[in-house]
């Protein structure tokens, strides 16, 4: 036994004598991040943040977003120009000449038509982005057509605001897929879906080398992209679930970028002369909402009182520690029509008044479903303590994310605290769910896609206003309409919107040009230099 121990000790010593790499390779970008949300890399299915980052560097979309001017909205992509018919129903896209996929196949109108039709027919989660224009399984073949080797015409069913339609054409699901490669790997009429879940058939600055779920992925540079080539040859993204481990990797120089640092980690990284932290506003909005089926929560004045019982500034400063901006409207900042009115602040006396008028001078008992984990739990605890100051005794019901969500979607919650991120860079994405309820508001209407329905909030009038805003052709007027809806929403809705997310990315000092994509896009690796 002793001999074995000695031999073992010798082997272990020998292995520790190998020096650890002090820095990442010069021509590679190494990132530590939490990426176990990736469940598929088919652009017709990608809908989570980490998958979007892959697609943003591997695929080219029909229209694009300029990483250096995110506020500008849509810019030319695979389509170099477009025109809209006078009735607002027909869009003609001119496809760039002489573009090639990674396979060497040329990009033509056929690939664009195939990609859009494929996204609709596969009917995965993001398909609704195209469904809303009347492009369905049955109609897409007639409505999206090739009219030349490099020209595609798309007909939609209602005269939506062109900005809305064109903004949607920057979404991941408009990624142009190499038709020949996809169809060569088709199985049971799946348009190559099983194949593309874990591979790429694309034309972006990088090619997907491999993806291992909950482990990591590797991208490799392909030269000749119309937007310019990437500087770094390889991008290696590793799944590192523990934030403290991410920070250690960054400090030691084993990664260039750490994307999920906790506030403590950020403080430490800021003090390190070799590292830096970059702040970037994202589109995610955190709120809590009150189920209007609840007899107390539906009383006028009760939710309003709750809006005065949140310590907005305190939450931002203590719990979120700089990772948020106070934001009380449903459109994220930088979106068309976003407003920064913040009419609510912690005011216990005002809340007490409102509760007394509503018939609850001594408060009441209520439950809140809370997804366990930072910062949701801490926020709920803060809200619990400020509620108590006006006599509202709130019980926190902790649960796993999917568990609380299942309850929320079944409308069996009292209060629910959660977050919502925009699905595409247009104001309609959030207005559609926060300020529109086209159902009859009954339990069996199954309007789970509408947060209004989930909270049983019937708003025929506001639904009409939101429907009008999405059809408005004049951008200035359109912005004004969303502003009005949000002000009304702030006053009357059962949603208490608290903040908009700010991400803090830790990186080595020599890393330049990394964009996390802001509220409208995903991360850009191909712009990074070091």
Partner 1 sequence: MTQTTVTAATGSSRFPSRYVWAVLKVVGTVLLTFLGLLLITFLIGRVVPVDPVLSAVGDRASHDTYEQARRELGLHLPLWEQFLNYVLQVLKGELGKSVLTANTVVDDIKRVFPATLELATTATFLGVAFGVPMGVVAAVNQGRWPDQVVRLLGLFGYSMPVFWLGLMGLLLFYGILDVAAAPGRVDFANLDVVETITGLIVVDAAIQGEWEVFFDALHHLVLPASVLGYFSLAYISRMTRSFMLEQLRQEYVTTARVKGLSETRVIWRHALGNVMVPLITVIALSYANLLEGSVLTETVFAWPGLGLYLTNSLLAADMNAVLGATLVVGTIFIGINLLSDLLYRLVDPRAK
- Helix 263-271 and helix 243-251, axial crossing angle in degrees, nearest 10: 10
- Of 119 and 351, which CB lies nearer to partner 1 in the complex structure? 119
Smallest distance, partner 1 to C-beta of residue 402, A: 5
Q: Per CB under 8 A, does 448 bind partner 1?
A: yes
Question: What is the rounded distance in angstroms from the CA atom of residue 39 to the CA atom of residue 10?
Answer: 43
Find the binding residues for partner 1 in span 117-176 (CB under 8 A).
Answer: 123-128, 131
Q: Which residue in 141, 229, 313, 400 binds partner 1 (CB under 8 A)? A: 400
Smallest distance, partner 1 to C-beta of residue 245, A: 5
3-state secondary structure 328-366: CCCCCCCCCCCCCCCCCCCCHHHHHHHHHHCCCCCCCEE
Distance from the first to the final alpha carbon of the chain: 51
- Of 97 and 510, which CB lies nearer to partner 1 in the complex structure? 510
Kindly state the DSSP code that residue 82 receives in the 8-state scheme: E
- Of 381 and 406, which CB lies nearer to partner 1 in the complex structure? 406
Separation in Å, CA 29 to CA 33, 127, 218, 232, 254: 13, 32, 10, 7, 10
Q: What share of the chain is helix, strand, coil (3-state, %, to 5)?
A: 35, 20, 45
Q: Per CB under 8 A, does 14 bind partner 1?
A: yes
Binding span for partner 1 by CB under 8 A among 7-15, 175-183, 300-308, 331-339: 7-15
3-state secondary structure 421-455: CCCCCCCHHHHHHHCCCCCCCCHHHCCCCCHHHHC
Smallest distance, partner 1 to C-beta of residue 485, A: 21
The 407-426 site mask, x for binding partner 1 (CB under 8 A), equals x-x-------------x---
- Of 239 and 307, which CB lies nearer to partner 1 in the complex structure? 239
Helix (H/G/I), strand (E/B), else coil: 248: helix
Q: Per CB under 8 A, does 90 bind partner 1?
A: no
Smallest distance, partner 1 to C-beta of residue 314, A: 29
Q: Per CB under 8 A, does 446 bind partner 1?
A: yes
Binding span for partner 1 by CB under 8 A among 12-20, 99-107, 478-486, 519-527: 12-20
Q: Per CB under 8 A, does 367 bind partner 1?
A: no
Q: Which residue in 10, 184, 213, 388 binds partner 1 (CB under 8 A)? A: 213
- Judge contact between 505 and 524, C-beta under 8 A: no
- Judge contact between 339 and 289, C-beta under 8 A: no
- Judge contact between 119 and 174, C-beta under 8 A: yes
- Judge contact between 323 and 282, C-beta under 8 A: no
Q: Per CB under 8 A, does 218 bind partner 1?
A: yes
Q: Per CB under 8 A, does 198 bind partner 1?
A: yes
- Of 1 and 86, which CB lies nearer to partner 1 in the complex structure? 1
Smallest distance, partner 1 to C-beta of residue 9, A: 9
User: What's the angle, vertex CA 132, arms to CA 434 and CA 63, rounded to 5?
Assistant: 100
Smallest distance, partner 1 to C-beta of residue 232, A: 13
Question: What is the rounded distance in angstroms from the CA atom of residue 143 to the CA atom of residue 90?
Answer: 9
Q: Per CB under 8 A, does 48 bind partner 1?
A: yes
Q: Per CB under 8 A, does 24 bind partner 1?
A: yes
Kindly state the DSSP code that residue 38 receives in the 8-state scheme: -
- Of 256 and 311, which CB lies nearer to partner 1 in the complex structure? 256
Q: Per CB under 8 A, does 1 bind partner 1?
A: yes
The 238-267 site mask, x for binding partner 1 (CB under 8 A), equals xxxxx-xx--xx-xx-x-------------
Q: Which residue in 96, 100, 145, 197 binds partner 1 (CB under 8 A)? A: 197
User: 147 Cβ partners below 8 Å, 6+ apart?
Assistant: 92, 109, 153
- Of 15 and 98, which CB lies nearer to partner 1 in the complex structure? 15
User: 410 Cβ partners below 8 Å, 6+ apart?
Assistant: none
Smallest distance, partner 1 to C-beta of residue 326, A: 25
Structure tokens at 67: 């990483």
Q: Per CB under 8 A, does 403 bind partner 1?
A: yes
Binding span for partner 1 by CB under 8 A among 15-23, 56-64, 86-94, 110-118: 15-23
Question: What is the rounded distance in angstroms from the CA atom of residue 496 to the CA atom of residue 351?
Answer: 14
Q: Per CB under 8 A, does 11 bind partner 1?
A: yes
Find the binding residues for partner 1 in span 458-517 (CB under 8 A).
Answer: none
- Judge contact between 523 and 53, C-beta under 8 A: yes
Q: Per CB under 8 A, does 268 bind partner 1?
A: no
Question: What is the rounded distance in angstroms from the CA atom of residue 279 to the CA atom of residue 281?
Answer: 7
Q: Per CB under 8 A, does 402 bind partner 1?
A: yes
User: 275 Cβ partners below 8 Å, 6+ apart?
Assistant: 250, 251, 269, 506, 507, 508, 509
Smallest distance, partner 1 to C-beta of residue 409, A: 7
- Judge contact between 409 and 291, C-beta under 8 A: no
Q: Which residue in 187, 212, 270, 393 binds partner 1 (CB under 8 A)? A: 212
Please choose, from the candidates 46, 50, 42, 53, the residue with its C-alpha nearest in 3D space to the C-alpha of residue 522. Answer: 53
Residues in binding contact with partner 1, number by CB under 8 A: 66
Q: Which residue in 10, 27, 36, 361 binds partner 1 (CB under 8 A)? A: 36
Residues in touch with partner 1 (CB under 8 A): 1-2, 4-5, 8, 11-12, 14-16, 18, 20-21, 24-25, 28, 30, 32, 36, 39-41, 47-48, 123-128, 131, 197-198, 209-210, 212-216, 218, 236, 238-242, 244-245, 248-249, 251-252, 254, 400-403, 405-407, 409, 423, 446, 448-449
């Amino acid at each position: 036994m002793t001999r074995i121990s000695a031999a073992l000790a010798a082997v272990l010593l020998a292995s520790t004598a190998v020096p650890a790499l002090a820095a990442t390779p010069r021509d590679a970008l190494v990132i530590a991040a939490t990426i176990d949300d990736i469940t598929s890399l088919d652009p017709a299915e990608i809908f989570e943040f980490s998958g979007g980052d892959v697609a943003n560097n591997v695929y080219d979309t029909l229209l694009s977003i300029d990483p250096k001017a995110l506020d500008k909205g849509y810019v030319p992509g695979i389509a170099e120009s477009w025109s809209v018919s006078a009735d607002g129903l027909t869009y003609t896209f001119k496809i760039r000449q002489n573009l090639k996929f990674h396979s060497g196949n040329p990009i033509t109108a056929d690939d664009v038509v195939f990609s859009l039709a494929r996204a609709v027919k596969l009917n995965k989660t993001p398909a609704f982005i195209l469904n809303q224009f009347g492009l369905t399984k049955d109609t897409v073949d007639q409505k999206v057509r090739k009219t030349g080797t490099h020209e595609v015409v798309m007909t939609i069913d209602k005269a939506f605001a062109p900005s809305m339609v064109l903004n949607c054409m920057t979404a991941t699901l408009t990624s142009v897929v190499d038709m020949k490669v996809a169809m060569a790997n088709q199985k049971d009429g799946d348009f190559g879906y099983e194949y593309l879940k874990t591979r790429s058939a694309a034309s972006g600055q990088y090619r997907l080398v491999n993806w291992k779920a909950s482990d990591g992925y590797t991208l490799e540079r392909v030269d000749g992209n119309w937007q310019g080539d990437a500087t770094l040859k390889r991008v290696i993204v590793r799944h590192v679930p523990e934030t403290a481990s991410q920070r250690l990797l960054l400090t030691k120089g084993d990664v260039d970028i750490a994307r999920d640092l906790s506030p403590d980690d950020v403080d430490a990284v800021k003090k390190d002369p070799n590292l830096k932290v970059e702040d970037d506003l994202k589109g995610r909005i955190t709120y809590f909402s009150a189920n209007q089926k609840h007899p107390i929560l539906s009383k006028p004045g009760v939710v309003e009182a709750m809006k005065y019982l949140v310590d907005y500034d305190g939450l931002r400063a203590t719990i979120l520690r700089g990772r948020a901006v106070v934001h009380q409207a449903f459109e994220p900042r930088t979106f068309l029509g976003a407003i920064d009115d913040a009419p609510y602040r912690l005011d216990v006396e005002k809340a007490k008044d409102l509760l007394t008028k509503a018939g609850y001078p001594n408060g009441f008992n209520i439950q809140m479903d809370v997804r366990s984990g930072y910062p949701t739990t801490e926020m709920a605890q803060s809200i619990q303590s400020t509620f108590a100051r006006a006599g509202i005794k709130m019980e926190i019901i902790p649960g796993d994310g999917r568990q609380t969500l299942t309850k929320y979607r079944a409308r069996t919650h009292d209060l629910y605290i959660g977050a919502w991120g925009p699905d595409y860079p247009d104001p309609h994405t959030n207005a559609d769910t926060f300020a529109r309820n086209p159902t009859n508001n009954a339990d069996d209407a199954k309007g789970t896609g509408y947060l209004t329905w989930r909270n049983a909030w019937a708003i025929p009038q506001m639904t009409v206003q939101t429907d009008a805003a999405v059809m408005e052709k004049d951008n200035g007027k359109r912005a004004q309409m969303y502003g009005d809806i949000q002000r009304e929403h702030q006053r009357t809705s059962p949603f208490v919107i608290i903040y908009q997310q700010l991400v803090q990315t830790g990186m080595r000092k020599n890393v330049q040009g990394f964009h996390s994509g802001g509220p409208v896009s995903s991360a850009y690796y191909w712009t990074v230099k070091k």
